[in-house]
Amino acid sequence: MADTKDRNPVHQCNKPYSISGDLGAVPPEGEQNPYVNALAQFDKTVEHLNLKSGVVDTLRYPKRELSVTFPVELANGDIRIFRGYRVHHSTVLGPTKGGIRYSPNVTLDEIRALAMLMSWKCALMNLPYGGAKGGVVVDPKALSRRELERLTRRYATEISLMLGPESDIPAPDMGTDSQVMAWIMDTYSMHKGYSVPAVTTGKPVEIGGSLGRTEATGRGVVNTIEQALKRMGMVPQRVSVAVQGFGNVGAVAASCCRELGMKVLAVSDSTGGILKEDGLDLDSLKIHKKESGQVSGFPGAENITNDELLTLKCDVLVVAAMENQITSRNADKIRATIIAEGANGPTTPEADEILNDRKVMTIPDILCNAGGVTVSYLEWVQDLQSFYWPLEQINLHLKNLITAAFNNVMACGESHRVPNRVAAQMLAIQRISDAIMIRGIYP
Ligand code: NAD
């Protein structure tokens, strides 16, 4: 058992790792700081592993971090300065992989946490990648399409020394989409002088994207829910589901749950939630959301708050919005039997303790939402070989890979008598640690 607490400067003093900029939000304190939470989860996991202390320390810190500040000319001729980041957490298992987030709330601590989670996620899924993440402090909805393209191309240029199909491959995350990946891929290709489709994933199919990538995360979430229901002897046709976040992940997860016969009784977005006890008509809801920009006000459904959605009585709660949604404030009020973490870091370590005591089954983020990076990997492989596969093959690979990972996590949890999150991180961290030891410490 490795004791890391004493050696850990971040434990003793969070300050050196909480850099705030005048161009970004100040990182939140304590339970709300995603990097503090990621480190707390890491510390809890390594207590169950017999790792060399130097390896533990290596994995606590990002391998490299780039902070960039750059100007963008707006449509009215004004020049505005933006701040962005790209963090590589680990490169031991291969090139780094991780999304790019556009949000006014992006902080370096958040990007560090998400890069670390990407290392664990890729290792858990046995993908040949390390973890990375990037972000720009910007509200993408406040920019025109042309302004967003200019910002994206400039940010891609600023971080291009870290990018490459063999070094670092971005994908979409909150606030970015396939079009943003197309602009990054095009910018990188222009600098090279030839097309490099494998430099991003989550691209449009027309330029080397994979079939099934857009839906992959939500589909993978539901693959894991299906396995969890099987283990608990629950029949999908008698299962009720509430979904927090009706974006890329949440909306697809809701539809896939419905396809399996589950009843989706509530969903929410950043403006609030809706509830219909006998089940929502998701096709009509998608049209309503497209037209009105929100789920609230959906005819025939009752408007509820986001807090109410999280504590609804239901069998499965899918959290597919953002970090820190289940905290010590509301964990004891959650009434779902299964929590499926479509989002990254939605549950704080304090909340984890409460949920574990209450025997709520959590499908942890690095397993539950790993469908996205898994199909990103399939996209990268297809781009590198310039040979593309049909959708059925993609979905089958996804189901097989995520089911295998699910079974590994359950087996590890049972044999070590640890919660699912600890089990998932144990498998991942052990794999990376083994790779560090086999490769050796350079020079
Ligand atoms: P998205 O921007 O498409 O959707 C996010 C949704 O959450 C939106 O509907 C938004 O209105 C809603 N939301 C925001 N704050 C909320 C709140 N407080 N309460 C309820 N709803 C709220 O983003 P996405 O791509 O679906 O990503 C969602 C989460 O899943 C993020 O944590 C992301 O890191 C994670 N994730 C995404 C992918 C992917 O492939 N897109 C892969 C792995 C993990």
Q: Provide the CATH number for the domain around residue 347.
A: 3.40.50.720
Number of domains in the chain: 2
Kindly state if the Cβ of 423 falls inside 6 Å of ligand 1. no
Farthest CA pair distance, the chain: 66
241 and 363 belong to one structural domain: yes
Kindly state if the Cβ of 379 falls inside 6 Å of ligand 1. no
156 and 222 belong to one structural domain: no
Q: How far is the CA of 342 from the centre of ligand 1 (A)?
A: 8
124 and 148 belong to one structural domain: yes
Q: How far is the CA of 435 from the centre of ligand 1 (A)?
A: 32
pLDDT of 19 = 35
pLDDT of 23 = 59
Kindly state if the Cβ of 172 falls inside 6 Å of ligand 1. yes
DSSP character string of 116-146: HHHHHHHHHTT-S-EEEEEEEE--GGGS-HH
Q: Are strands 316-319 and 302-304 parallel, antiparallel or unpaired?
A: unpaired
191 and 244 belong to one structural domain: no
Kindly state if the Cβ of 268 falls inside 6 Å of ligand 1. yes
189 and 219 belong to one structural domain: no
Q: How far is the CA of 376 from the centre of ligand 1 (A)?
A: 17
**CATH code (residue 167):** 3.40.50.10860
Q: How far is the CA of 217 from the centre of ligand 1 (A)?
A: 11
Q: How far is the CA of 273 from the centre of ligand 1 (A)?
A: 14
pLDDT of 14 = 36
Kindly state if the Cβ of 331 falls inside 6 Å of ligand 1. no
pLDDT of 28 = 73
227 and 319 belong to one structural domain: yes
Final residue before a domain boundary, out of 339, 368, 397: 368
pLDDT of 26 = 66
Final residue before a domain boundary, out of 319, 343, 368: 368
Kindly report the protein residue whose alpha carbon is nearest to atom 4 of ligand 1: 247
Kindly report the protein residue whose alpha carbon is nearest to atom 33 of ligand 1: 343
Ligand 1 test: best mutation among 252, 288, 322, most atoms within 8 Å of CB?
322
193 Rama sector, left if φ>0, alpha if ψ -120 to 50, beta otherwise:
left
53 and 87 belong to one structural domain: yes
* Full pLDDT tens readout for the chain, 443 residues: 334 333 333 333 333 333 333 456 667 766 688 999 999 999 999 999 999 999 999 999 999 999 999 999 999 999 999 999 999 999 999 999 999 999 999 999 999 999 999 999 999 999 999 999 999 999 999 999 999 999 999 999 999 999 999 999 999 999 999 999 999 999 999 999 999 999 999 999 999 999 999 999 999 999 999 999 999 999 999 999 999 999 999 999 999 999 999 999 999 999 999 999 999 999 999 999 999 999 999 999 999 999 999 999 999 999 999 989 999 999 999 999 999 999 999 999 999 999 999 999 999 999 999 999 999 999 999 999 999 999 999 999 999 999 999 999 999 999 999 999 999 999 999 999 999 999 999 99
Kindly state if the Cβ of 218 falls inside 6 Å of ligand 1. no
pLDDT of 160 = 97
Q: What is the extent of the structural domain holding 102?
A: 9-201
- Which candidate in 133, 203, 263, 289 is catalytic? 133
195 and 228 belong to one structural domain: no
236 and 193 belong to one structural domain: no
Q: 10 Å Cβ neighbour count for 134?
A: 31
> 121 catalytic, yes or no?
no
Kindly report the protein residue whose alpha carbon is nearest to atom 35 of ligand 1: 343
Structural domain includes residue 148: yes
358 and 312 belong to one structural domain: yes
Kindly state if the Cβ of 170 falls inside 6 Å of ligand 1. no
pLDDT of 21 = 38
pTM value is: 0.93
Matching residue, tokens 């890979």: 401
Please state, in angstroms and as integers, the Cα–Cα distance from residue 340 to each residue in 11, 115, 237, 410, following that order.
29, 21, 18, 14
Q: How many CA atoms lie within 13 A of 378 on its CB side?
A: 27
29 and 107 belong to one structural domain: yes
Please state, in angstroms and as integers, the Cα–Cα distance from residue 115 to each residue in 108, 165, 329, following that order.
10, 18, 26
190 and 287 belong to one structural domain: no
Task: Kindly calculate the radius of gyration of the chain based on its CA atoms and give it in whole angstroms.
Answer: 21
Structural domain includes residue 207: no
Structural domain includes residue 97: yes
Q: Rounded to an integer, what distance in angstroms lies between the CA atom of residue 323 and that of residue 14?
A: 19
Final residue before a domain boundary, out of 169, 201, 233: 201
Amino acid at 377: Y
Kindly state if the Cβ of 270 falls inside 6 Å of ligand 1. yes
